[in-house]
Structure 1
């Protein structure tokens, strides 16, 4: 059974490599890629570790709105394992509804007004919309920026995309080297 799982993972990796290599604008570097080149972020993290480990996430991106974000956050493993995860359940719960995820994606893409968000989410009433917006603003995933307009706070953009990238099926996005 474990070998079936391993074979599926190998097949998926081979398929992803083939897609990357056949992309029209894929770089054509004939040099072999070393472990350090492939896992440059991981190697950099390893060089600075002193304890039992650290989790690091980082990102540099431009949204369709033209807004640029660069973010890096790290946490020591011991601290993460010692923390009371239940204290943060509301933040995760706010992301646990399809309408809220649709709203967040729309805001990141540039839809900011409540009227446009209601239409994008396919909600029938403003009461339904504001119920979801209240959950997202109460947990810090959204902020109101004037009357009826919303944005994702700068310190939440990359963390939100990290969470999404952790659960989106691997065929829907590409891992970078």
Structure 2
């Protein structure tokens, strides 16, 4: 085990040295800055931010975030979700699922089964990652 760890450390150090020698760190920083500048330009051009307020508001409830987390983990039915502590009654769960569905965070691929639409997975991951630790 020690030999494998030592070998991995050596290989990482060699890769980092090679990147630094080629100016890789500078290029990554410049590329990141260019991407940030492009993103800011797009934000400036986006005229009505209030259009997304309902979708963001749907995520502003701890129960709804827990529902999304549990659905990602495979609990895709109300029956399975009702086994999670703190989510309330099945009626309360349905209420929150309707809100998430209305704002596009969930859909029902089959009757009684909930899932996050593929086009929302990256958005959800980005929002949660951006706010992690805040």
TM-score (norm 2): 0.74
Larger displacement relative to structure 2 (30-39 or 123-132): 30-39
Once residues 43 and 102 of structure 1 are traced to their aligned partners in structure 2, the CA distance between those partners, rounded to angstroms, is: 36
Q: What is the root-mean-square deviation in Å for CA atoms of aligned residues?
A: 3.0
Give the 5 Å matches for 1:96-111: 96-111=60-75
Q: Which residue of 2 aligns with 1:156?
A: 120
The 1:126–1:42 alpha-carbon spacing in structure 2 relative to 1, beyond 3 Å, is farther
Answer 1 or 2: which has greater helix percent.
2
Q: Which residue of 1 aligns with 2:38?
A: 54
Once residues 112 and 169 of structure 1 are traced to their aligned partners in structure 2, the CA distance between those partners, rounded to angstroms, is: 27
Once residues 88 and 95 of structure 1 are traced to their aligned partners in structure 2, the CA distance between those partners, rounded to angstroms, is: 11
Once residues 169 and 79 of structure 1 are traced to their aligned partners in structure 2, the CA distance between those partners, rounded to angstroms, is: 26
Once residues 129 and 43 of structure 1 are traced to their aligned partners in structure 2, the CA distance between those partners, rounded to angstroms, is: 44
The 1:38–1:162 alpha-carbon spacing in structure 2 relative to 1, beyond 3 Å, is farther
The 1:127–1:45 alpha-carbon spacing in structure 2 relative to 1, beyond 3 Å, is same
Q: Does 1:78 align with 2:41?
A: yes
The 1:41–1:146 alpha-carbon spacing in structure 2 relative to 1, beyond 3 Å, is farther
Answer 1 or 2: which has greater strand percent.
1
- How many correspondences in the alignment? 122
Q: Gaps spanning 5+ residues in structure 2: where?
A: none
* Alpha-carbon shift at residue 121 of structure 1 (Å): 5.3
Render the CA deviation track for 1:71-97: whole Å, top value 9, x for unaligned.
xxxxxx333223211111001000000
Q: Gaps spanning 5+ residues in structure 1: where?
A: 1-23, 56-76, 171-177
Q: Which residue of 1 aligns with 2:95?
A: 131
Larger radius of gyration: 2
TM-score (norm 1): 0.58
